[in-house]
Amino acid sequence: MTQRPLVLRGGRVLDPSTNTDHAGDVVIIDGRVASVESRTTSVEDAEIIDCDGLIVSPGFIDVHCHLREPGREDVETIATGARAAAAGGFTAVCAMPNTDPVTDNQAAVGFIIRQAQRAQASRVHVIGAISVGQKGETLAEFGEMVAAGAVAVSDDGRPVVSAQLMRTALEYARTFAIPVIDHCEEPTLSQGGSMNEGIISARLGLKGIPSEAEEIMVIRDILLARRTGGHVHLAHMSTVGSVELIRWGKERGINVTAEVCPHHISLTEERVVGYDTNAKMNPPLRTARDVEALREAVKDGTIDMIATDHAPHHYDEKEREFADAPNGIIGLETALAVSVTNLVETGHIDFSTLVDKMSCAPAKLFGLPGGTLAKGAVADVTVFDPDREWDVEPSQLLTKGRNTPYAGMRLKGRAVFTIVGGATVHRL
Amino acid sequence: MTSALGKDLLGLESLTSEQIRLILDTAEPFKEISERAIKKVPALRGSTIVNLFFENSTRTRISFEFAEKRLSADTVNVASSGSSVQKGETLVDTARNLEAMRIDMVVIRHGASGAAQFLAERIESNVINAGDGTHEHPTQGLLDLLTLRDRLGDLAGKRVCICGDVLHSRVARSNIWGLKHVGAEVAVCGPRSLLPNAIEEFGVIVFDRIEEAIEWADALNVLRLQLERMTAGYIPSSREYNRVFGVSRERLERAPRDILILHPGPMNRGVEIDSDVADGPHSVILHQVTNGVAIRMAVLYLLAGGRPELAEAAKGGRA
Amino acid sequence: MADEIVELNEGTENLVIVGIQRRGVQLARRISALIEESENAKVLQGSLDITLYRDDLQTVGPRPVVGPTDIPWDIDGRNVVIVDDVLYTGRTVRAALDELADFGRPAHIALAVLIDRGGRELPIQPDIVGKAISIEAGERVDVLVEDLDGRTAVIIPANTEITEP
């Protein structure tokens, strides 16, 4: 399939991986970055996309989302998820394995990859399960899964309860140089909880999940990473305590990386007052102090990347008593705007750091293609408008899910073109 | 429908002190009706009220039923157990079905905090929260306030201590909000494992020992200790609970003043409260039960409101 | 009016004076006092709040305040005299009759009012009337009593015709 050459003309080319930040053109030929220059000479037969007023960056990569297929195609499929991701500016996502059946073997990995290829939207990398069936008992076949295309392993949805199993996973994963992603939650402390433990949970009569439920597992995983030399990646960090522990670990050169979700740097537990199930997720929304600590952690590098934990649920499932509703909100299409509003506009970081958190770091730390506009790199590019304001109308999103706490809000920042391997998979 | 309380009674946290006083004052004449030979007034004649109880509760349901019948309303009891998920019919569907049957008011008790609000937001009928999870039990809070007011007069500045498992108690929460709204000083007493971690932020005094509470209080509201708390590991045993926190005659004798003893019922005699206290001279427990019917009548009366637009058609004269 | 009541009842035997809230209660008290003084006998006196028996409860707007009802004795077989300040449509008295019926079965019920302003909407007539007047529907009659208003008076619009009962 020969593609026409593509010229992204006149935008602000922002690529932290090559220290690029200037107005210019990006030329893409045969699915790869041919050049990045201030002014291009004309390219034969090229499609030209005018990027005036827009930022042109390496494509965003989301290392944490739930695409629900196989098993819950009623709430999302790989196709609808990949298209939603592209609409959000993501050129690649990593799909978590808590599907039905669980993605814990090579055949399951292959299935997801094929479905993603059919969708022809953003790339979908597969995260395999740590344990068979995510039961937390025996290791899944990391080798076979990696050979089939898996890029990491995780039992996300659930914590790895057994420290011994986590240790073994970290050691075994070293052979394949993949990260082990943990959902940090000490289950006896969190059991029955549906929101952060604090004054709000006490007022609302909801059982709370104390921040220690996360922090206890964070330090456990950091210590095990130290012991084993493995790479542990901490999913959806949400507390000031976790941030302090990660800092402690990094200071000692331990191979720990961490991600934060846009909702944890923008919303607090106050959002739960009124029992809105679109404010229910795990880990839960915490306090203003936690939000500020997480924003600072993004700024100082303690938090390496921004991930969405996109988790669509059926309207009926969320339309019930708070304690019974499932955890999770969608996030692929709002991630950029929420991050711009709550990290860049607040002065915590600039766009260069944002692009690093959303693209360069995920690619680098997970060993994924993309994350750079260096010459010869695969042409995964995000062109976004940092000033574009838009209203979040759930029924108009590409994801099948409607469960977002940002419904009805006006946000700032939107992807305009998403280019994967030189092909434009999304146009606003 | 106009009503000084709005469409629903979901909790005491969001009421003003004026609204609380209105309910207490309205309950006064309703007390007398229960003393008559014919305990019935036609005020809510023709209204249909459904008692939707997802949790077992004989005493609260009966109290509401008496209140409804004494106001001449037609009542229907729907008892259901389990969550929406277990039952197979969601709370949303239940709500819509009720509305389709043109129910005027729903009294709901449910095991999930927020269930009453969930229902109220989805149906036009008045919704009265008879207890939602561990969140609020407003009519219980109100009848406790009325009982205290009967005996102590104006509650501003009076000292009331809530004793026991505050963490899991909707009665405690409603009492805390209600008492604070009327200007009382509020304290709680119990083992820390049964108090919310953020309890100080409620603006209440915390006593670790029952003796301190008795020293301080004008009244104790003694909560029922649920036996499940032992199996869940919050406290070691009911025996120890009684020895350390039990309200006993010996402890009360050392009180510097005549303390009132309240209990929402049902009582675990010998656990949180000893029999000679429950049946003794300080106890106003039965008084609470009597007031319960009056309060519930007052709430139903106030929420049902009037509909002045019908007055156009009625063209009624007065006097 | 007090004398007329005694005369109607042929004495004070079994006599019960019940005032309708709020001003009827004040009048009932005064009447009972007068009877007791002149007949040298105790007369039972109670009060009735008819709010919950109003026929317009569903349409009247914000809930009217319910006052106290105090009938602490058995009314079976007694001669009850209902006392109110102004008789107009008759609906208040209808409500009072319904409410009394829930208390028991008096041998006889009579109605005594201070002012009869006409304009009946129900077939209810007073047995004893202080003064009868004839005024328009839109006009007001106000009876003031010491306890509630600080003075005793009846206020009627100017040029109202007063007739003896």
Domain residue ranges in chain A: 6-55+378-427, 59-366
Class of domain B17-137+291-314: alpha beta
- Is residue B2 predicted with pLDDT exceeding 50? no
Higher pLDDT among residues B226 and C126, named by residue: C126
For the ranges A94-103, A262-271, C19-28, the lowest mean pLDDT is seen at: C19-28
**CB contacts, 8 Å: B42 with chain C:** 52-53, 98
Classify residue A267 as exposed, middle or buried by CB count within 10 Å of its CB (0-12, 13-18, 19+): buried
Q: If you average pLDDT over every residue of chain C, what do you get?
A: 86
Q: Identify the CA nearest to B218 among candidates B144, B163, B159.
A: B159
- Is residue C50 predicted with pLDDT exceeding 80? yes
Which pLDDT does position B81 carry in this prediction? 66
Which pLDDT does position B312 carry in this prediction? 45
* Full domain range(s) for residue C122: 2-58+66-163
- Is residue B146 predicted with pLDDT exceeding 80? yes
B contact test, residue of C49, C59, C143 with most B CBs within 10 A: C59
Give B41 to chain A, closest Cα distance, Å. 37
Which pLDDT does position B257 carry in this prediction? 92
For the ranges B76-90, C42-56, C79-93, the lowest mean pLDDT is seen at: B76-90
Which one from A156, A309, A356, A385 is the annotated catalytic residue? A309
Share of chain A above pLDDT 70, in %: 100
Q: How many CB pairs under 8 A join A and B?
A: 72
Closest Cβ–Cβ partner in C58, C60, C102 for B40: C102
Which pLDDT does position A344 carry in this prediction? 96
Which pLDDT does position A311 carry in this prediction? 97
Which pLDDT does position C164 carry in this prediction? 64
Total number of domains in chain C: 1
Which pLDDT does position C146 carry in this prediction? 78
- Is residue A44 predicted with pLDDT exceeding 90? no
* Each residue's pLDDT tens digit, B118-138: 999 999 999 999 999 999 999
- Is residue B283 predicted with pLDDT exceeding 80? yes
* Each residue's pLDDT tens digit, A225-267: 999 999 999 999 999 999 999 999 999 999 999 999 999 999 9
- Is residue A63 predicted with pLDDT exceeding 90? yes
Domain B139-289 has CATH 3.40.605.10: no
Average pLDDT (A331-348) is 97
DSSP type of residue A14: E
SS3 category, A7: strand
Which pLDDT does position C43 carry in this prediction? 87
- Is residue B204 predicted with pLDDT exceeding 60? yes
Q: Give the Cα separation of C105 and A316 in Å (integer).
A: 59
Could you confirm whether A387 is annotated as catalytic? no
Q: Which two tokens stand for residue B189?
A: 């007493």
- Are C and A touching by the rule of 3+ CB pairs within 8 Å? no
Task: Locate the domains of chain B by residue range.
Answer: 17-137+291-314, 139-289
- Other beta carbons within 10 angstroms of residue B58's beta carbon come to 9
- Is residue C12 predicted with pLDDT exceeding 80? no
- Is residue A1 predicted with pLDDT exceeding 80? no
Phi-psi bin for C159: left (phi > 0), alpha (psi -120 to 50), beta? left
Give A287 to chain B, closest Cα distance, Å. 13
**CB contacts, 8 Å: C89 with chain B:** 317-319
What is the band of A190 on the pLDDT scale with cuts at 50, 70, 90?
very high
Which pLDDT does position A169 carry in this prediction? 97
What is the band of C63 on the pLDDT scale with cuts at 50, 70, 90?
confident
Determine if the peptide bond prior to A283 is cis (ω within 30°). Answer: yes
The residue type found at A318 is K
Average pLDDT (A137-154) is 97
For the ranges A366-375, B290-299, C75-84, the lowest mean pLDDT is seen at: C75-84
**CB contacts, 8 Å: C70 with chain B:** 32
| ipTM associated with this complex | 0.85
- Is residue B315 predicted with pLDDT exceeding 60? no
Higher pLDDT among residues C115 and A123, named by residue: A123
Share of chain B above pLDDT 90, in %: 73
Q: Give the Cα separation of A107 and C92 in Å (integer).
A: 84
Phi-psi bin for B216: left (phi > 0), alpha (psi -120 to 50), beta? alpha
What is the band of C41 on the pLDDT scale with cuts at 50, 70, 90?
confident
CATH pick for A59-366 out of 3.20.20.140, 3.10.310.10, 3.40.50.300, 3.90.1560.10: 3.20.20.140
- Is residue B319 predicted with pLDDT exceeding 50? no
Average pLDDT (A183-203) is 97
Which pLDDT does position B317 carry in this prediction? 36
Q: Which pTM does this prediction carry?
A: 0.87
Residues of B with CB under 8 A from a CB of A: 13, 83-85, 90-92, 110, 112-115, 117-118, 132-136, 170, 173, 196-199, 201-202
- Is residue B311 predicted with pLDDT exceeding 60? no
- Other beta carbons within 10 angstroms of residue C33's beta carbon come to 13
Is residue B280 within 8 angstroms of chain C, CB to CB? no
The answer to whether C62 contacts B41, with C-beta atoms less than 8 Å apart, is: no
The answer to whether B114 contacts A198, with C-beta atoms less than 8 Å apart, is: no
Phi-psi bin for A71: left (phi > 0), alpha (psi -120 to 50), beta? left
Fold of A6-55+378-427: Urease, subunit C; domain 1 (2.30.40)
A6-55+378-427 matches A59-366 in fold: no
B5-18 exposure pattern, b = at least 16 Cβ within 10 A, e = fewer: bbebbbbbbebeee
DSSP type of residue B123: -
